[in-house]
């Protein structure tokens, strides 16, 4: 989901230029990932999805029990970006969950000891 929102932020300005008269209520900045990060932080906050599942690229629909899996999960860097947006939005429990998930992911990515210490 994060990568879909990220691609939208990148491609929508180009699409907007090629379709005259297309109304946009938001101005996208192609390299600004705060929008996609905030979007996922908000979705997790309001629907109470498991952060570890989201980092792995898995969404479980509690109503239908269907499982949706992304080809790629999130990186520890992307997870920390989402944690920062959760904190900014005052989703403090979510912020802690995203940081904890980023730490687990950084360890599984075999990040450097200094990077892991930074996340802690």
How many angstroms separate the Cα of 14 from the Cα of each of 7, 8, 30, 64, 77?
11, 10, 10, 36, 26
Lowest mean pLDDT among 14-18, 22-26, 82-86, 110-114: 22-26
**Residue 42 CB-density burial (10 A; 0-12 exposed, 13-18 middle, 19+ buried):** middle
Residues 41-66: tens digit of each pLDDT: 999 999 999 999 999 999 998 889 99
Residues counted in the chain: 120
CA distance 34 to 4: 14
DSSP category for residue 25: S
Q: What is the pLDDT of residue 42?
A: 93
Q: What is the pTM assigned to this prediction?
A: 0.77
Domain 2-119 has CATH 3.40.50: no
Identify the helix (H) or strand (E) that includes residue 78: helix 76-88
Task: Give me the mean pLDDT over the 80-88 stretch.
Answer: 95
């Amino acid at each position: 989901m994060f990568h879909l929102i990220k691609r939208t932020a990148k491609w929508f300005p180009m699409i907007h230029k090629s379709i005259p008269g297309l109304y946009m209520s938001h101005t996208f900045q192609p390299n600004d990932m705060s929008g996609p990060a905030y979007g996922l932080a908000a979705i997790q906050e309001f629907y109470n999805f498991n952060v570890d599942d989201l980092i792995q690229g898995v969404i479980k629909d509690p109503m239908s029990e269907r499982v949706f899996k992304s080809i790629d999960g999130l990186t520890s860097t992307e997870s920390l970006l989402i944690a920062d947006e959760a904190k900014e939005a005052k989703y403090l429990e979510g912020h802690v969950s995203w940081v904890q998930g980023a730490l687990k992911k950084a360890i599984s990515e075999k990040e450097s000891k200094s990077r892991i210490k930074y996340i802690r």
